[in-house]
């Protein structure tokens, strides 16, 4: 298995410098990772670094809390697309989901899907904050809204991906969507467990360690 093709090589730390981004993008090119994932302010810079490569560019919206208004998430998405991103990883309105306000959650996701204009949209659920029933509902709403992936975590909350959550998400969306496991995926064994549970993408800052069979020190 070419595990590199599953990895979104991620750098979302606020202190990331251009030098850090240069390294990130070069590593992604050298190892043919699926994508790099960076903060919105770094999209245009990384798009230039990834020109003429097979590496996709992803960025985040409503990150990391998901608490921005939907109109702001939509505008952030439009700007990200204009700057050159290929994929959008958005955080849902977690409070609205826990309130049972399905309409608000659906409209929030759909606003980003519409603004993405056909670009891949991954919906971050922040599973560590949700019950089993809420994970299922969030997956169903993401599917209804036309998103392409459901994603476990931001990596900035109280927990990350678990095998159980990935399996539940995949069982809920079936073949209609893909699943991205992120947060707490630091080793080759971690990544393989998530892939076996149904993940087709792994979001991690430990991509190089995973390829070498070691263990990284952090998620993002």
Closest-CA residue to 220 (of 200, 202, 197):
202
Q: What is the pLDDT of residue 219?
A: 60
Q: Specify the pLDDT at position 218.
A: 61
Q: What percent of the chain has pLDDT over 90?
A: 95
Q: Phi first, then psi: give them for residue 156, nearest 5 degrees.
A: -115, 5
Q: Are 97 and 127 contacting, i.e. CB atoms less than 8 angstroms apart?
A: no
User: Quick check: helix, strand or coil at residue 179?
Assistant: strand
Q: How far is CA 146 from CA 14, 107, 142, 150, 214, in A?
A: 30, 11, 7, 11, 37
Tell me the whole-structure pTM to 2 decimals: 0.96
Q: Catalytic residues, which ones?
A: 89, 151, 180
Give CA angle at 72 (9, 70), nearest 5°. Answer: 95
What does the pLDDT look like over 24-53, one tens digit per residue? 999 999 999 999 999 999 999 999 999 999
Give me the residue spans of the domains in the chain. Answer: 3-211
Domain spanning 3-211, CATH class: alpha beta
* Residue pLDDT, tens place only, 124-163: 999 999 999 999 999 999 999 999 999 999 999 999 999 9
Average pLDDT across the chain, whole number: 96
Q: What is the mean pLDDT of residues 14-20?
A: 97
Rounded distance between C-alpha atoms, residue 11 and residue 33, angstroms? 13
């Amino acid at each position: 298995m070419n595990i590199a093709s599953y990895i979104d090589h991620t750098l979302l730390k606020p202190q990331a410098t251009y030098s850090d981004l240069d390294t990130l993008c070069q590593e992604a090119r050298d190892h043919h990772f699926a994508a790099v994932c960076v903060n919105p302010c770094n999209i245009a810079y990384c798009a230039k670094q990834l020109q003429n490569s097979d590496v996709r560019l992803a960025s985040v919206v409503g990150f990391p809390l998901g608490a921005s208004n939907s109109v702001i998430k939509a505008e952030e998405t439009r700007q990200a697309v204009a700057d050159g991103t290929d994929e959008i990883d958005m955080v849902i309105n977690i409070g609205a989901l826990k309130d049972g306000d399905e309409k608000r959650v659906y409209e929030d996701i759909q606003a980003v899907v519409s603004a993405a204009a056909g670009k891949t949209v991954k919906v971050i659920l922040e599973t560590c904050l949700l019950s089993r029933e809420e994970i299922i509902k969030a997956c169903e709403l993401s599917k209804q809204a036309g998103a392409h992936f459901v994603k476990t975590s931001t990596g900035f909350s109280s927990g990350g991906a678990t095998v159980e959550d990935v399996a539940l998400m995949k069982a809920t969306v079936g073949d209609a969507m893909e699943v991205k496991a992120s947060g707490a995926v630091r080793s080759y064994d971690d990544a393989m467990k998530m892939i076996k549970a149904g993940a087709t993408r792994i979001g991690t800052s430990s991509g190089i360690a995973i390829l070498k069979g070691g263990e990284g020190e952090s998620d993002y």
